[in-house]
Amino acid sequence: MKDLSVVITVLNERENILPLLEAIRNALGPLSYEVVFVDDGSSDGTQKEIRKYADDHIILVELRRNYGQSTAMTAGIEHSTGRYIALLDGDLQNDPTDIPMMLEKLIDEDWDVVAGNRKDRQDGAFLRKFPSMIANAIIRRMTGVYIKDYGCTLKVFKREIAEDLGIYGELHRFIPVLAKLQGASITQVDVKHHARMYGKSKYGLSRTFKVMADLITMVFFGKYIQKPMHLFGTLGFVSFGLGLLINFYLLILKLLGHDIGGKPLLILGLILLLGGIQLITIGIIAEISIRNYFEGTNRKTYQVRRIFNGQEETLE
């Protein structure tokens, strides 16, 4: 088993491969490491470039089509063998020389995850940095995981944390949140960042709405994944209660001889009643689904960091 696996997802990064490999070899030369490239459906010859300059440290995983960065990361982690895992972008904007420092911090201070923070980010202010700053602030506020730079791919993990992240869809932006759901200890360090020299960025303002949609998923996972009825049931009972009060008030008016047929309040009361019933029903179904998830897959509702039996300590 290697000490370190560097997982790099690439999509049409042919011109960056050789300088990236040279930078990795210079930075990680003394370490026992492997580099797992995951080609996410490139069409510019990126795969051929990796094979051309590969040595015995290189593993290339070619996906049949473009699945997205999250799926590619998962494939890279599953095909790696290292005791520790580093995630690195393939566009030369992250600097491999930061990895030894991050790995040393992870080991010496016993962190589960060390995340990079692009202190002097070399991207456009309007299209990249400003939207990212707002998104980071919202994510920190809503998830309670206070990482400065969620958009920085460069991170180093203990293997057991990386294997259980459950990255799918486009949840790679929320890796610190996914790790925190496992009870992982996370710290962050400032890392170098370079302007892109070759190729084009795969990101733009269009991803903002996707990030916001995924954020709702992360908030739900963080607070209600084991108790969905606490969310849907609470909303349902509040809605049902308000609807009941409104309709009781309208009943009193009707008994007093008032015409309630044309009142918008009647429609609101009915909507709240029916909405409350639906939310409570969704909560029950969600509870059944979560129970089937944990019991049917034999997944535990907890994770153990380590066990000490009085004589020796073992890691889970």
Q: Report how far Cα 249 is from the mean position of its chain's Cα atoms.
A: 47
Q: How would residue 196 be classed by pLDDT, with cut points 50, 70 and 90?
A: confident
Q: What is the pLDDT of residues 85-133, one digit of tens each?
A: 999 988 888 999 999 999 999 999 999 999 999 887 766 555 566 667 7
For residue 298, is pLDDT > 60? Answer: yes
Report the distance separating Cα 16 and Cα 171, nearest Å: 25
Q: Where are the domains of the chain?
A: 4-224, 227-295
pLDDT in tens, 44-70: 889 999 999 998 999 999 998 888 888
| Residue scoring higher pLDDT (240 or 208) | 240
**Domain formed by 4-224, architecture:** Alpha-Beta Complex (3.90)
Whether the CB-CB separation of 145 and 192 falls below 8 Å is answered with no
Which has more confidence, 171 or 32? Answer: 32
Return the percentage of the chain with pLDDT > 90, whole number. 44
Tell me: the pLDDT tens digits for 210-242? 777 778 878 787 788 788 898 899 999 999 999
Do β-strands 186-191 and 113-118 pair in parallel, antiparallel, or remain unpaired? parallel
Task: Name the pTM for this structure.
Answer: 0.75
Residue 202 has pLDDT above 90, yes or no: no
pLDDT band at 281; cut points 50, 70, 90: very high
Residues 77 and 102: their CA atoms lie apart, in Å, by 18
